[in-house]
A = this chain, B = another copy of it.
Amino acid sequence: MTFPGTMPNAFIPGQGKLSPEEEVLVARRQRLLGPAYRLFYETPVHLVRGEGVWLYDAAGNAYLDTYNNVASVGHCHPHVIAATARQSALLASHTRYLHDTVLDYAEKLLGHFPPELSHVMFTCTGSEANDLAFRIARARTGGTGIIVTENAYHGVTHTIAGLSPSLGAGVPLGEHVRTVPAPSGDAGAFTAGVEAAIADLLRHGIRPAALIVDTIFSSDGVYAEPKGFLQPAVAAIRAAGGIFIADEVQPGFGRTGEAMWGFERHGLLPDMVSLGKPMGNGYPVAALVLRPEVIAEFGAKARYFNTFGGNAVAAATAMAVLEVVEGEALQANALKVGAAFRDGLRALSKDHAAVGETRAAGLFLGTDILSPETGAPDAARAARLVNRLREARVLISATGPKGHVLKIRPPLVFAQEHVDLFLDRLRTALHGEEA
């Protein structure tokens, strides 16, 4: 069973069918890394190698990776690993010396944004990017109030964990943080939620600083439609003196198919945009893209330095990733293959009462799993399906406040044959449930 705040698809020690070698590994992990770490699956997967959309375990078994959005251009892409190796051998130094690569990358990256978003600052993680956005939002607005969705995840620093309710009741929200129900196809309801949160902040004497959303609402259960539903909510936060931060750590870099960034699907111009996970295809690099007027106040009072952020290897690696996204037309691939994937999942729901709505944009898909008897969200069944798929060597996970949404976001090099394989294995898993 899952409930809001517990982690869907977490390994529970003592369960699962581990080999003696894996039992040793799990015990060693517990001893060395301590109690705050979590593994995926009833029977965790022991990985040793990756290539394209495939991950391999220690016994040589191949797993179809339908989950890892970090290795977005495919695991161990040769163009990317060559760039990392080449620049590592040349220079790895930081932004307090002049260096061309970080500027070349900044220019190329900003070329994918509307011209108003003309600065980029480099961090190592999406958490750091959102944390920096928070600092800048406070300096810009003079406010402290933050509005997030009710199962949002934006990162793990103290401040950002405090505006990530999906981390669970054991992680306190910041006292100036307000949550709003996730969008569910009703733009008016979402806007009303944001307006109510603004009113509640003001009622408590707290000036609003920002509305921040993951533009695909990943941890809320994936909400992509109708395009444009974010616009009135953004207008509301701006009218209240706050700014809008688009968290593109998950949807960014072409995954949503129709656009390079999730906010573009909504016809929006954010004040700041945070980037992360797929940016370096596994190399730790992240960034905050922003409008110059937003950083003016912060820049006049404070400096920002991140020792590894924007180092020469990070920049060269991220450059190679962007070259692959462009060169292999991965956004177009995400659109095409994602549409087929979505249609396949929707077709499955016709034959299986346990398969509910599929919400998707490109290769970011969420499929509700329901009780065939009651039609209610069925987290236990979703967890069983995730684990059946893992036994069938297909990797996904579950998400959403009720834990009943299959979370599907494969590397962008996913092809039709992989969609077919996935649907075939899911069909088998559903039959297993029904047997």
Known: A125-B307, A313-B283. A92 touches B106 (CB 8 A): no
Q: Is A120 an interface residue (CB 8 A)?
A: yes
Tell me if A75 counts as interface (CB < 8 A to partner B): yes
A435 at the interface (CB under 8 A from B): no
* B307–A70 CB distance below 8 A: yes
Chain B: CB-nearest residue to A40: B96
Interface check A88, CB cutoff 8 A? yes
A38-64 with Cβ < 8 A to chain B: 38-40, 44-50, 55
Q: With both chains docked as a complex, state the minimum distance between the C-beta of A66 and any C-beta of chain B, in angstroms.
A: 14
Interface string of A193-224 (1 = CB under 8 A from B): 00000000000000000000000000000000
C-beta contact mask, A286-298 vs B, less than 8 Å → 1, else 0?
A: 0000101001101
| Residue pair B119, A34 in contact (C-beta under 8 Å) | yes
Tell me which of B36, B93, B120 contacts A303 (CB under 8 A): B36
Interface residues on A, range: 35 or more
Whether a CB of chain B sits under 8 angstroms from the CB of A281 is yes
> Given that A45-B98, A47-B98 are known contacts, is A303 also in contact with B167, CB under 8 Å in the complex?
yes
On chain B, the residues within 8 Å of A95 by CB distance are 33, 37
Q: Nearest chain B CB to A72's CB is how many angstroms away? A: 12
Question: Is there a chain B Cβ closer than 8 Å to A4's Cβ?
Answer: no
A68–B38 CA distance with the chains assembled, in angstroms: 35
Chain B residue nearest to A39 in the complex (CB): B96
Chain B hits for A99, CB < 8 A: 46-48
CB within 8 Å of B: which of A141-195? 156-159, 161, 167-168, 170-171
B contact residues around A156 at 8 Å (CB): 128, 132, 304-306
Cα–Cα, bound, A97→B45 (Å): 5
Do A25 and B103 touch across chains, with their CB atoms under 8 A apart? yes
Q: Which residues of B contact A235 (CB under 8 A)?
A: none
Nearest CB of chain B from residue A311's CB, rounded to whole Å: 6
Shortest Cβ distance from residue A15 to the other chain B in the assembled complex, whole angstroms: 15
Other-chain residue from B76, B110, B284 in contact with A89 (beta carbon distance below 8 A): B76
- Residues facing B in A10-38 (CB within 8 A) are 10, 22, 25-26, 28-29, 31-38
- Decide: A25 and B98 in contact? CB cutoff 8 A: yes
Q: List chain B residues, Cβ under 8 A from A34.
A: 119-121, 290, 292, 295, 299
Name the distance in Å between A283's Cβ and chain B's nearest Cβ.
7
**CB contact list, A97-132 vs B, under 8 A:** 97-100, 102-103, 106-107, 110, 118-122, 124-128, 131-132
Q: Is the CB of A92 within 8 A of B283?
A: yes
Please pick, from B40, B48, B120, the residue contacting A33 in the complex, using a CB distance under 8 A: B120
Q: Which residues of B contact A122 (CB under 8 A)?
A: 33
Give the distance to chain B from A378, nearest Cβ to Cβ, in Å.
23
A1 within 8 A of B: no
CB of A98 to closest CB in B, whole Å: 4
Contacts of A309 in B (CB 8 A): 125
Partner of A282, one of B76, B276, B300, B313: B313
**Is A90's CB under 8 angstroms from B76's CB?**
yes
Q: In the bound complex, what is the Cα–Cα distance between A92 and B124 (angstroms)? A: 15
Are B32 and A93 within 8 A (Cβ)?
no
A38, B96: Cβ atoms under 8 Å? Answer: yes
Q: How far is the CA of A343 from the CA of B309 in the complex (A)?
A: 36
Interface residues, chain A, with chain B CB atoms under 8 Å away: 7, 10, 22, 25-26, 28-29, 31-40, 44-50, 55, 68, 70-71, 75-76, 81, 84-85, 88-100, 102-103, 106-107, 110, 118-122, 124-128, 131-132, 134-135, 156-159, 161, 167-168, 170-171, 276-277, 281-285, 290, 292, 295-296, 298-311, 313-314
Could you pull out 16 A-B pairs where Cβ atoms are within 8 angstroms?
A35-B300, A36-B298, A36-B304, A44-B98, A49-B91, A50-B90, A76-B90, A88-B283, A124-B125, A125-B308, A127-B128, A127-B306, A128-B157, A156-B305, A167-B303, A284-B311
